[in-house]
Amino acid sequence: MARFQGHARRTRKLPVDPDDPLAPARGQSLDALLRLLEQLDGVEEAEVVRSALEAGVPRERVLDELQREVERRLVRVRDE
C-alpha cells in the first residue's frame, strides 16, 4: 500500500478529459495554479495568495483555497 510522505503533491500530468471543465486545474503545482488564476482574470486574487504565503499561511491551506478558486472560475467560464 502506497503512503504519502509529508505534503508532497502529485506532479505527474494526468490525461486531460476534454469534457471535464475542471481538468486544467487538476494536479497542478501552486505556481501553475497561480498562472491559471491570472489567466482567468484573477490577477488581484493571485497577489492575495502570494501575500498569504509571505505572511506564513500554511502552503497546503493556501493551495487548497487556490484550487477551489480556480475551479470556481473554470466553471463560471464554461457556463458563460
**Cell numbers standing for residue 71:** 475551479
User: Would you say 36 and 70 are in contact if contact means Cβ atoms under 8 Å apart?
Assistant: yes
Query: What pLDDT, on the 0 to 100 scale, is given for residue 8?
Result: 43
Within a domain: 14:
no
Q: Is the pLDDT of residue 26 over 90?
A: no
Within a domain: 6:
no
Query: What pLDDT, on the 0 to 100 scale, is given for residue 79?
Result: 78
* Number of domains making up the chain: 1
Within a domain: 11:
no
Domain span at residue 58? 23-79
User: Would you say 24 and 33 are in contact if contact means Cβ atoms under 8 Å apart?
Assistant: no
**What are the tens digits of pLDDT across the range 4-17?**
344 444 445 556 66
Kindly report the pTM of this predicted structure. Answer: 0.72
